[in-house]
Chain A
Amino acid sequence: MTRMLIRGGRILDPSEDRDEAGDVLIEAGTISEIAAGLDVPGAEVLDAKGAWVAPGFVDLHCHLREPGQEYKEDIASGGRAAVAGGFTAVACMANTQPVNDDPAMTDFILDRALHDSPARVYPVAAATRGLEGQVMTEMVALVDAGAVAFSDDGRTIMDSGVMRRVLDYSRLVAAPVIVHCEDRTLVSDGVVNEGPVSTKLGLPGNPAVAEIVHIHRDLLLAEQVGAHLHVAHVSTAGGVEAIRRARERGVQVTAEVTPHHLTLTDEATLGYDTNTKVAPPLRGEADVRACRAGLVDGTLDAIATDHAPHALHEKELDFASAPHGLIGLETAAAVVLDLVRSGELTPLEWVRRLSTNPARILRKSGGSLAVGASADLVVIDPERRWTYDPVKGHSKSRNSPWAGQTLTGRVVATVVGGRLVYHVDRGILV
């Protein structure tokens, strides 16, 4: 059996609160030993000196575009981008073409992933048929087929009665309902955060209250029926506060925030670069600070990329017509390291939000380097500087606001199930 020794790194395992130097031995696809100064003849050695060794990152929220829009991404390319970014597992959203609202579609995605993706793929099924926000999907059958959660992400369930029933029914399967909170009637034709920036740009504004209203609504409904609500991509201070207070009351709510909502403000839109056009939009400074504080104090449990590839010809349209979204699998780790560099998060807490917590929310194994756990891990050099060129990246698309920027922190190697699937010097290895 192949044995791999990851030597000389700083081991960060939030599941055991471990933060210490040491070596990790992998055998038969699982973690077999963690100690300092291991010497295992015949084992493949991966030098982790100066780097951190952590459980592989788990992305709660990404868009792989397959089936239907393979021109901008597919499960293969998305999986490669994932492992290049240190993600050993990703949960992919249902807004494909056709929508993943049927067990056969979930099956298809899992099958594709098995053959083509170096990262594990957990399908999120639609909460309502066709994402139309009217009739709920067959949640039991979908979970049996392998779906891990339900979401109409890409759209919002505007009808509160339908939302309530969806949350209620979800208790049958004990899977989270992931909500994209935006009241469409308040968003109207808004494309940038409503505020001084939208006024300067002369573009219609998307007010923060559009998100806050729906977060409140969904929290109250989840509280009423006792379901597990997971709030996707929180971007507003009001939203963070609502979740904090609901959790204090005992509501079963989890929440995620994206790397861009933690580090970019709406001022990034001032040049009309459509690679800054995203839903929910980049917000003002106060909102960004509140999201950071929320991530630190645990109100926001996890970081999720909302990796949303779009083709060049789609993003080259005028700002109003261009689709929302930016890619983020390959840059997430470096971008969010900003909170470690600023001292807001310790490295261990940073890993917890990228790995342990997302795995827990999805009720999947992962996020742990405990002996016996599946060997899904990432080796990351937090000091390594590199220039991000999406053209050389693994995603089929290039819509990133960090294109051309020098980032600090780079994944050195990614291991899935004991197999080295990515190495920074050698690329994808499967």
Chain B
Amino acid sequence: MIGRDLLGIEDLDRSDIERILQTAEHMGEIGEREVKKVPTLRGRTLVNLFFEPSTRTQTSFEIAGKRLSADVVNFSPRSSSLTKAESILDTARTLDAMDPDAVVVRHAVAGVPKRIADVLEAPVINAGDGAHEHPTQALLDLFTVRREKGRIDGLTVTIVGDIVHSRVARSNIYGFLKMGAEVRLAAPPPMIPAAVETLGVKAFTSLREALDGADVVMALRIQNERFAGSYFPSVREYAATFGIDRATLRYAKDDAIVMHPGPVNRGVELSHDLADHRPSVILDQVRNGVSIRMAVLYLISGRLHRGGVA
């Protein structure tokens, strides 16, 4: 896996995912030590190239890199309309001259990490590109579910929310399907992507039906811009029909867990109560995020040259 890009869960097979989850299991232990550092990636350079700002994900990658003793460089090109005209590839080529061992890219438009990966020698990790994929998020979600439930095979996972605009949804769809779970989607009709059932999932416009017998309920963040775009009439109506609270949770299994990629719009996707208490495992997701990102960095950092690894 060294030098291999991580652009999406779609490109991984089950054994790749298993490998990452197993490695993450051990990385978690380092966070429990007093000296939360191992020398494994000492002298390696990790670049965070975030065209779209994100404190949570960027910090998570930064901590992950630093725990492995890597040098972490944060690079956030301003995405004003002025710099929009700058070629993404120009930025990438400039970076490549610094010889990074891994580049983490986030961008508001799908496809950018792939274009950058085509140009860079270093492996590229997609930290979220438009509505396309967010592979480390899905990996930490898979990891969290496995830790909670002991397995993923045979579970029913229901994803609720603005699916059409969600990279977290897409990556999780691929991830949970590859690991043997059944995946259901619940959303108001304009938020269900075209032909989504061709991916192997079942789409519902009734939350109750979608939750029936679910082991995992994953709520997605609703962005207010979507209402301006008329995908849904109001936050109030969304919360009333698709929001998850203890009452709606009863449609799911008794031991169902609740997940959310964060940050939560309290009272919209999740009730205040569920946002902060079991059975929601949101904080575990965050913690597991560092372990997963450490695992990914450990497994793929390093540039591939002809005839060997650098």
Which A residues form the contact surface with B (CB < 8 A)?
Answer: 194-196, 198-205, 207, 271-272, 313, 316-321
Provide the residues of chain A in CB contact with B89, threshold 8 Å. 316
Is B94 interfacial (CB-CB < 8 Å)?
no
15 additional A-B residue pairs with CB within 8 Å, beyond A199-B193, A272-B112, A318-B107:
A195-B195, A199-B194, A199-B195, A199-B196, A201-B110, A202-B129, A202-B132, A202-B167, A203-B131, A207-B194, A272-B114, A316-B87, A316-B89, A316-B90, A318-B111
Provide the residues of chain B in CB contact with A321, threshold 8 Å. 84, 109
Provide the residues of chain A in CB contact with B272, threshold 8 Å. none
Query: Which size class do B's interface residues fall under?
Result: 20 to 34
A-B contact pairs, 23 of them (CB 8 A): A195-B195, A196-B195, A198-B194, A199-B193, A199-B194, A200-B199, A201-B132, A202-B131, A202-B132, A203-B109, A272-B112, A313-B87, A316-B89, A316-B90, A317-B84, A318-B88, A318-B107, A318-B111, A319-B109, A319-B111, A319-B112, A320-B109, A321-B84
Closest 6 CB pairs of A and B: A272-B111, A202-B132, A202-B131, A318-B109, A196-B195, A199-B193
Provide the residues of chain A in CB contact with B131, threshold 8 Å. 202-204
Bound together, the chains give a CA A427 to CA B67 distance in angstroms of: 61
Instruction: Give B84's nearest chain A residue, CB to CB.
Output: A321
Is B170 interfacial (CB-CB < 8 Å)?
yes
How far, in Å, is A194 (CB) from chain B's closest CB?
5
62-90 of chain B: CB within 8 A of chain A: 84-85, 87-90
111-158 of chain B: CB within 8 A of chain A: 111-112, 114-115, 129-133
Contact of A319 (CB < 8 Å), options: B87, B110, B133: B110
How far, in Å, is A186 (CB) from chain B's closest CB?
13
Bound together, the chains give a CA A233 to CA B114 distance in angstroms of: 30
How far, in Å, is A101 (CB) from chain B's closest CB?
27
Bound together, the chains give a CA A194 to CA B164 distance in angstroms of: 12
- Say yes or no: A202-B194 contact (C-beta < 8 A), given A316-B89, A319-B111: no
Instruction: Give A284's nearest chain B residue, CB to CB.
Output: B195
Contact of A318 (CB < 8 Å), options: B115, B133, B170, B199: B115
B 6-29 binary contact with A (CB < 8 Å = 1; else 0)? 000010000000000000000000
Provide the residues of chain A in CB contact with B195, threshold 8 Å. 195-196, 199
How far, in Å, is A267 (CB) from chain B's closest CB?
13
Is B198 interfacial (CB-CB < 8 Å)?
yes
Instruction: Give B195's nearest chain A residue, CB to CB.
Output: A196
Provide the residues of chain B in CB contact with A317, threshold 8 Å. 84-85, 87-88
Provide the residues of chain B in CB contact with A195, threshold 8 Å. 194-195
How far, in Å, is B42 (CB) from chain A's closest CB?
34
Provide the residues of chain B in CB contact with A316, threshold 8 Å. 87-90, 115
Bound together, the chains give a CA A50 to CA B111 distance in angstroms of: 45
How far, in Å, is A204 (CB) from chain B's closest CB?
8
Contact B114–A320 (Cβ < 8 Å): no
How far, in Å, is A202 (CB) from chain B's closest CB?
3
Contact B110–A196 (Cβ < 8 Å): no
How far, in Å, is B286 (CB) from chain A's closest CB?
24
Contact A201–B111 (Cβ < 8 Å): yes
Instruction: Give B107's nearest chain A residue, CB to CB.
Output: A318
Bound together, the chains give a CA A194 to CA B107 distance in angstroms of: 21
Contact of A203 (CB < 8 Å), options: B87, B111, B114, B199: B111
Provide the residues of chain A in CB contact with B193, threshold 8 Å. 198-199
Contact B199–A199 (Cβ < 8 Å): yes
Bound together, the chains give a CA A199 to CA B84 distance in angstroms of: 25
Instruction: Give A196's nearest chain B residue, CB to CB.
Output: B195
Contact of A202 (CB < 8 Å), options: B85, B88, B90, B110: B110
Bound together, the chains give a CA A194 to CA B190 distance in angstroms of: 13
Provide the residues of chain B in CB contact with A313, threshold 8 Å. 85, 87
Instruction: Give B89's nearest chain A residue, CB to CB.
Output: A316
Instruction: Give B87's nearest chain A residue, CB to CB.
Output: A316
How far, in Å, is B190 (CB) from chain A's closest CB?
11
Provide the residues of chain A in CB contact with B132, threshold 8 Å. 201-203
Provide the residues of chain B in CB contact with A318, threshold 8 Å. 88, 107, 109, 111-112, 115
Contact of B130 (CB < 8 Å), options: A200, A202, A205: A202
Instruction: Give A320's nearest chain B residue, CB to CB.
Output: B109
Provide the residues of chain A in CB contact with B170, threshold 8 Å. 202
